[in-house]
Amino acid sequence: MKCSTVAGLVVLLLAAGACAPHPGADVPFLVTPPEVVEQMLKLARVGPADVVYDLGSGDGRLVIAAARDFRARGVGVEIDPKLVAQSREYARRAGVEARVTFHEQDLFQADLSAATVVTLYLTREVNLRLRPKLERELAPGTRVVSFNFDMGDWEPASMLRVDINGRTTPVYLWVVKPR
Ligand SMILES: C[S@@+](CC[C@H](N)C(=O)[O-])C[C@H]1O[C@@H](n2cnc3c(N)ncnc32)[C@H](O)[C@@H]1O
């Protein structure tokens, strides 16, 4: 992507209310709408035996919903310390702090081997950079769900379309294959 296109995208995101990206962040903070959070976790069939990792966990909403509404354990990985602190406070208020952990960390440095579900709201370009790490570290059968952005030629196992303010947006599900 050309720099001018990236700059234009950032200006558009800021105009849409996104916070300025934290230094080192690959994408700015934007939230997944609550109804989409629920649909993502349902699409991945999250349950009490799962460990749900949200890579770039923002204010912690995916991780907290997984613990509160689906009885899973959750791990958030987020580069912005303010968002990590906010996530911990929201988890405390939701009464799920014992079942969730938030790491202040670059998602590309995180150990993903304990995940049974990974949730993503990044960009297509970041998904594509992340894909080799997902394929290397995730156990076969791990489900990966991405809001809005695909994984190139990694064929999804299923997909749904959600309506957000009259705009249809895809949610993708992949299942890591046996190696
Ligand atoms: C679009 S937001 C999604 C937030 C949350 N997952 C959600 O769906 O509501 C992306 C988040 O990823 C974080 N982020 C961007 N690059 C990152 C990186 N390299 N490592 C960890 N977090 C990152 C940003 O700070 C931001 O909070």
pLDDT digits (tens, 9 = 90+) for 27-36: 999 999 999 9
Mean pLDDT of 68-86: 98
Pocket of ligand 1 contains residue 25 by CB under 6 Å: yes
pLDDT of 11 over the 50 cut: no
Q: For residue 106, report the distance from its CA to the centre of ligand 1, in Å.
A: 9
User: Residue 86 — left, alpha, or beta (φ > 0 → left; ψ -120 to 50 → alpha)?
Assistant: alpha
pTM: 0.91
Q: Which of 5-14, 104-113, 135-144, 151-160 has the lowest mean pLDDT?
A: 5-14
Pocket of ligand 1 contains residue 54 by CB under 6 Å: yes
Report the relative pairing of strands 51-55 and 143-147 from DSSP bridges: unpaired
Pocket of ligand 1 contains residue 26 by CB under 6 Å: yes
Sheet holding 143-147, edge to edge: 100-104, 73-78, 51-55, 117-120, 143-147, 167-175, 158-164
What is the reported pLDDT for 19? 58
Q: Which two tokens stand for residue 145?
A: 């769900």
What is the reported pLDDT for 4? 44
Q: For residue 48, report the distance from its CA to the centre of ligand 1, in Å.
A: 25
